[in-house]
Amino acid sequence: MSEPLRLGLAGLGTVGTGIVRIVQENAACLAARAGRPIEIGAISARSRSRDRGVDLSRYAWEDDPVALARRDDIDLVIEVIGGEDGPAKATATAAINAGKHFVTANKAMLARHGQALAEAAEARGVALRFEAAVAGGIPVVKSLIEGLAANRITRVMGVMNGTCNYILTEMERTGAPYAQVLEAAQKLGYAEADPSFDVGGVDAAQKLALLAAAAFGTRVDYEGMTVEGIERVSIADIEHAAELGYRIKLLGVARLTPRGLETRTQPCLVPSTSPIGTLEGVTNMVVLEGDFAGRIVMSGPGAGEGPTASAIMGDVVDIARGLIFPPFGQPAASLCHAPRAGTSGEAAYYLRFALADRPGVLARIAAALGESGVSIDRMRQGAHPGTTAPVLIVTHRCGRPALDRAVSVIETLDVCHDVPVVLRIEDV
């Protein structure tokens, strides 16, 4: 058998420990598939003495991951430290500059520095792979870059943050409000102590930024994304949406439109019977649409030790096989600066108003919508004990600017008792 591929592993936390386990437990199948043994040569973390539940005694130790990345006895560096800059970025740069292949699970770093790192890797003739950075164990990057390489991708969308989907499905199941479910999720370890990256939509947006680049041949443009989280989703809207046949999901959607690149992460209504509408708990789902392949739906665990380490090692096996291609599927220099679409394309919308319960009010709302060219598909008034009635409206497809104009007029009416809720209904 050929020479082993020697790995330098920077980071021994959740994902790093999983990588050690796979290398140790699946050595034979890794070697058979890669055509050469895959071995860990050296490791790095902050604490050398911490018991991580795996045998690390046979590996060389480096306190500094940059020193690990530069070791002569390492062919490929895996970075599972995390963080946009700091030691992760320093490790990436050192590895690539030293001519080592580089595999990472770090969406935060690639969302900011993906273009520069891809250019550097290509210039050095080394691989940069990041399957684990998007949707954990689901091989979505590979599907886009390899399996669907013959297609013009028309849309990429999905639920790519398990924490948010868990919170939304628990709110629906228990009827408990957001804050209470978030606290329970933190106790169960499904949400971080500081959950803002997850619930604020940032984590899902970083993943979508990477997928959009791979899908549309555009530069990674995290700054150009519309990013909205689930913090303001109320149990009332979850329940009203259900009555209308929808569920609320934190959806990431990327499309290359004639107006430019549309990339957004926001809570949307999706039909309850659609694949995304049936998604429960922490599971992720990604939908890829190609002009010849049609719609591909993939779901599975989007995080966790095993799935994320599996995705990392899938990339490692590819590199061991000699599969080296540009990180985003085409040369980084050829990735285009797509203009930003600005507003999202037309859609139907769910609106909830808290309105004075007296004659003529609904006619005024309909008139305000009509004056902006927004027509009503369905309207219903919810049950209410007092003088304020919840009114739910599903619009026909309309542009967001027209809808915003109408809603801002309605907000100023004396019959409107609270800030209206506007949620997009995504065609899925």
Active site residues: 207
**Which amino acid appears at position 223 of this protein?**
E
Q: Tell me if 14 contacts ligand NAP by CB under 6 A.
A: yes
**Cα angle 22-210-327, degrees, rounded to a multiple of 5:** 65
Q: Tell me if 93 contacts ligand NAP by CB under 6 A.
A: no
Residues forming a β-bridge with 427: none
CA–CA dist 204, 232 (Å, integer) = 17
CA–CA dist 337, 383 (Å, integer) = 50
**Token duo for residue 28:** 């034979």
**How many angstroms from the chain centroid is the CA of residue 241?**
23
- Report the residue number, 123 or 188, with the smaller CB distance to ligand NAP: 188
- Site stretch for ligand NAP (CB under 6 A), options 77-85, 181-189, 190-198, 408-416: 77-85
**List 24, 29, 50, 223, residue binding ligand NAP (CB under 6 A):** 50
Q: Give the footprint of ligand NAP on residues 99-158 (CB under 6 A).
A: 105-106, 132, 136
CB of 86: closest distance to ligand NAP in angstroms? Answer: 7
- Site stretch for ligand NAP (CB under 6 A), options 14-22, 28-36, 327-335, 370-378: 14-22
Torsion of CA 135, 139, 140, 144, to 10 degrees: 160
- Site stretch for ligand NAP (CB under 6 A), options 79-87, 137-145, 173-181, 247-255: 79-87
- Site stretch for ligand NAP (CB under 6 A), options 29-37, 46-54, 192-200, 407-415: 46-54
**List 147, 260, 277, 304, residue binding ligand NAP (CB under 6 A):** 304
**Token duo for residue 122:** 């290509």
**Token duo for residue 321:** 């096989």
**List 56, 77, 81, 141, residue binding ligand NAP (CB under 6 A):** 81
CB-nearest residue to ligand NAP = 13
Q: Give the footprint of ligand NAP on residues 345-384 (CB under 6 A).
A: none
- Report the residue number, 85 or 291, with the smaller CB distance to ligand NAP: 85
**List 2, 29, 32, 46, residue binding ligand NAP (CB under 6 A):** 46
Q: Tell me if 303 contacts ligand NAP by CB under 6 A.
A: yes
Q: Tell me if 165 contacts ligand NAP by CB under 6 A.
A: no
Q: Tell me if 16 contacts ligand NAP by CB under 6 A.
A: yes
DSSP string, 339-356: PB--SPPPBEEEEEEEEE
Q: Tell me if 208 contacts ligand NAP by CB under 6 A.
A: no
Bridging pattern class, strands 348-356 and 421-425: antiparallel
Is-contact 343 420, C-beta < 8 A? no
**List 7, 8, 11, 410, residue binding ligand NAP (CB under 6 A):** 11
CB of 301: closest distance to ligand NAP in angstroms? Answer: 9
- Report the residue number, 303 or 374, with the smaller CB distance to ligand NAP: 303
- Report the residue number, 79 or 289, with the smaller CB distance to ligand NAP: 79
- Report the residue number, 11 or 158, with the smaller CB distance to ligand NAP: 11
- Site stretch for ligand NAP (CB under 6 A), options 5-13, 21-29, 346-354, 365-373: 5-13
Instruction: Kindly state the number of chain residues that form the binding site for ligand NAP, as judged by CB under 6 A.
Output: 24
Q: Tell me if 300 contacts ligand NAP by CB under 6 A.
A: no
Q: Side-chain half-sphere of 198: how many Cα atoms within 13 Å?
A: 21
DSSP string, 104-166: E--HHHHHHHHHHHHHHHHHHT--EE-GGGSSTTS-HHHIIIIITTTSPEEEEEEE--HHHHH
For 148, phi then psi, to 5°, come to -105, 20
Largest Cα–Cα distance of the chain, in whole Å?
Answer: 83
Q: Side-chain half-sphere of 26: how many Cα atoms within 13 Å?
A: 17
Q: Angle at which helices 361-371 and 400-412 pack, to 10 degrees? A: 140
**List 9, 20, 23, 44, residue binding ligand NAP (CB under 6 A):** 44
Name the residue among 102, 96, 108 with its Cα closest to residue 78: 102
Bridging pattern class, strands 128-129 and 101-104: parallel
**Residues of the shown chain interacting with ligand NAP in the complex, contacts defined by CB under 6 A:** 10-16, 44-47, 50, 65, 80-82, 87, 105-106, 132, 136, 303-304, 308
